[in-house]
Chains A and B, each alone.
Chain A
Amino acid sequence: MAAEDDGKEYRWETGYEKTWEAIKEDDDGLLDGSVAEIIQKAKRKRMLERKSNARLGMMRHIFVVIDLSECMADQDLKPTRQICTIKLLNAFIEEFFDHNPISQMGIIVMKNKRAEKVSDLTGTAKKHIKALHQIESMPCGGEPSLQNALEMAMRSLKMLPSHASREILIILGSLTTCDPGDINQTINELKEHVIQCSLISLAGEVHICKALAKTTGGQFGVVLDDAHFKDLLLLHVEPPPAAAKLEPALIKMGFPHHVTGAVGQSKDAPMLAICMCHLDVPSECKLSAGGYFCPQCNSKYCELPVECKACGLTLASAPHLARSYHHLFPVAPFAELPFNAGDDNDPCYSCQRSYSASKDKNIYKCGRCLQIFCVDCDIFVHETLHMCPGCASHPSTTSQLK
């Protein structure tokens, strides 16, 4: 129930919305089925609304700003708002790097009227998960300062080249903010630098937050409970439609191949080197032969994707780029058909489950290959597989680039 009206109508003018009637008990007296149905319907609606062939910002640089003021110790989200937020952010980080492997993320916290950068912009998830562990044990206190956090994020984001999409995601638990200057000025600066700001408020709708999101082109949401919070967070995993000012560019990238360093692999003696990624943590830095070597400057790294510290070249591997292709070529939504129990139907094309009248109210038909799928396979194909098995089984429909 994020704010949908434009502010032109007041609540009492729209009449009663009997939202409790939307939820009905099913035959066994359980509510789970109808809640799941509502979530499914919302997902389908979102899928249909998504425009295809819109330019998406693939290389994303996002700063996650977490509120650590005293209202985050509130227990309205169990066990406390802080712990619930950290738990959901762990899941968010994993999903984010799964869908956007060549993107970078940084974390900032707000407390005691100051902003603190906990982890800088990097492309590996491990560092952020460690940082989140630290945040979980940090004590909450003071007031949050929205302007300080935005200024700190902006300082790093405005240095980035123009082909990268710049985003800030703020999780705000308090209804107030304590700023040193005029926040409207900061908002205008953000708009100038094409930085998209999205907010998730745990308490309620605040005008300045909504204005910030609207001006910069981000999304604003207020959470109802922790399931809704997860839903709102996972909305940001998908790449946003690119802002008009986003300039496309050809980015130079290196594709190192992996050297295993096993004895006897190459005829020459193995090249021993210290990896560059663990230089500041001497305990984890090991002298070894295996790893990825930058093609330009030959410095060694343990994991990809990474930005070479010596020569500045972005290093990635082909599967990392392939992970993002499904955003560009999404599977078209299937047509929903009502299920008639009387027809002698073949089982679901992909999972071979026979249809039953109780579980399958609707069956789904692909527009290109005309095969029929059950509701579970419909969700699986669109959310995880990103490929229609029916279309891939025929030579005429197998290429998605049509």
Chain B
Amino acid sequence: MDTSEDLTESSLLVVVLDVGLSRATTLRNDPALAGQVLEAVIAFSNAHMMMRLKNLLALVACDTETTEWIYPESKADMSDLRQQDGQHELFNELERTVRRKIAQLLKRSAGSNSKGESMLSGALGRALCYVHRMQQEERQLNARVLVVTANGQSVSQYMNFMNVFFTAQKQNVLIDVCCLGPESSLLQQGCDITGGQYFRPPQPQGLLQYLLWVFLPEPLLRNKLALPPRVKVDYRAACFCHRELVDIGFVCSVCLSIVCKFSPICTTCHTLFKTPGTLPIKPKRKKAKLV
């Protein structure tokens, strides 16, 4: 039911594509899959733009070395925009820009050693800054971010990820995650904090179908549809010394790092603690010897 209010609201979708996924273990078995993922993302972006006239789209890509802004280009050359194959000019321009820039990105990082983690938190940070700018320019906007990745578990970027999730929660931005690789509890936490959808397609070949089913509906429509159930997220903290989940731990009051056993010095901030519990031994009174 499209009331007049719904017609003026626009929906912003920012797709964060992890290009480092072409090197992930799942996809090494099927190299053609990386190309299929890109096609699925482009088709999905076109579908989002088709939903409503005022919908907005942006695309950020990241790999292990850098992040790159793909679409929209601020210095876009609109002069050679012609209709090709009967395709809507906007979709044509979107497709060409995305293919060109992703090819540039892959060429640039082709020779480098790619054992590191993807710079996903940086890409999410740029996406949120763009959302912030759009929220100030447009009156009524609901924004969401879709992350397509194959490797989400990253230890060194934990702080950055948490900052991103809390900022997204404050801005009312949903973060959806489509995870093609192993399960990532960090991204699951992010989806839970922001109210987005975490989904892991059982068959990556049918990615477009899953994207259109789960991630295309706007946030307001989602409670009317039967989407995959929310994952139960384990919010227990991991201790800094063993990286194991703890039920009861000790927290340093200065640096807030969590340890599982009491120790006199905090390993992170090197502050000394007083050992509790030991009572001072009362000095024994020497009985005066009766001579």
| A contact residues vs B (CB 8 Å cutoff) | 55, 58-59, 98, 163-164, 242, 247-258, 260, 265, 295-296, 313, 317-319, 321-326, 328-329, 347, 349-354, 376-377, 380-381, 384-395, 398-400
Contacts and interface: CB of A to CB of B under 8 A. Distances in A.
Contacts of A381: 129
Interface string B153-195: 0001111101111110011000000000000000001000100
Contact of B256 (A254, A321, A354): A321
A384 B250 contact: no
Interface of B: 62, 64-67, 69, 72, 74-75, 116-117, 119, 121-123, 125-126, 128-130, 132-133, 136, 156-160, 162-167, 170-171, 189, 193, 232-238, 246-256, 258-259, 262-263, 266, 271-274
Contacts of A296: 248
B259 A250 contact: yes
B240 to A, nearest CB: 11
B265 to A, nearest CB: 10
A361 to B, nearest CB: 18
Nearest to B249: A253
A392 B254 contact: no
Contacts of A322: 158-159, 162, 166
Given A321-B237, A325-B162, A389 B125 contact: yes
A242 B253 CA distance: 11
A386 B65 contact: no
B249 A255 contact: yes
Given A250-B266, A328-B256, A318 B251 contact: no
Contact of A389 (B122, B165, B232, B236): B122
Nearest to B64: A395
Contacts of B133: 351-353, 376-377
Nearest to B170: A384
B130 A351 contact: yes
Nearest to B271: A248
Contacts of A394: 65-66, 119, 122
DSSP majority for the B interface?
mixed
A386 B126 contact: no
A58 B255 CA distance: 8
Nearest to A59: B253
Given A55-B254, A251-B251, A325-B256, A319 B162 contact: yes
Contacts of B129: 350-351, 377, 380-381, 385, 389
Given A255-B247, A399-B156, A380 B64 contact: no
A160 to B, nearest CB: 12
Contacts of B132: 351, 376-377, 380, 384
A251 B255 CA distance: 12
23 contacts: A250-B250, A250-B251, A250-B273, A251-B251, A255-B248, A255-B249, A256-B247, A258-B235, A295-B247, A317-B235, A318-B237, A319-B165, A319-B189, A321-B251, A323-B166, A349-B126, A350-B125, A350-B129, A352-B133, A376-B133, A377-B132, A392-B157, A400-B159
A236 B72 CA distance: 40
Interface centre among B163, B189, B259 (most CB of A within 10 A): B163
B237 A252 contact: no
B122 A385 contact: no
B156 A353 contact: no
A59 B75 CA distance: 49
A296 B248 CA distance: 8
Given A58-B256, A350-B125, A351-B129, A387 B163 contact: yes
A59 B248 CA distance: 18
Contact of A384 (B167, B273, B274): B167
B168 to A, nearest CB: 10
Contacts of B121: 387, 392, 398
A133 B263 CA distance: 45
A294 B75 CA distance: 56
Nearest to A329: B159
Contacts of B159: 322, 325-326, 329, 387, 400
Given A255-B237, A326-B159, 16 more contacts: A250-B250, A250-B273, A251-B250, A313-B248, A321-B251, A325-B159, A328-B255, A351-B126, A384-B171, A387-B163, A392-B122, A392-B125, A393-B66, A393-B122, A394-B65, A395-B116
Given A321-B237, A351-B130, A385 B163 contact: yes
A212 B99 CA distance: 66
A270 to B, nearest CB: 14
A386 B273 CA distance: 29
B123 A393 contact: yes
A303 to B, nearest CB: 13
Contacts of A399: 156
B266 to A, nearest CB: 7
B232 to A, nearest CB: 6
Contact of A387 (B125, B136, B232, B251): B125
B256 A249 contact: no
A295 B247 CA distance: 6
A293 B137 CA distance: 45
A32 B125 CA distance: 30
Please list the 4 inter-chain residue pairs (A to B) with the smallest Cβ-Cβ separation, ordered nearest first.
A393-B122, A350-B129, A389-B125, A392-B122
User: Which of A247, A349, A380 has most B Cβ within 10 Å?
Assistant: A380
Contacts of B254: 55, 58, 242, 248
A350 B163 contact: no
Contacts of A313: 248
B119 A392 contact: yes
Nearest to B171: A384
B125 to A, nearest CB: 3
Contact of B74 (A247, A251, A347, A391): A347
Nearest to B129: A350
Contact of A249 (B122, B125, B130, B273): B273
Contacts of A98: 170
B247 A319 contact: no
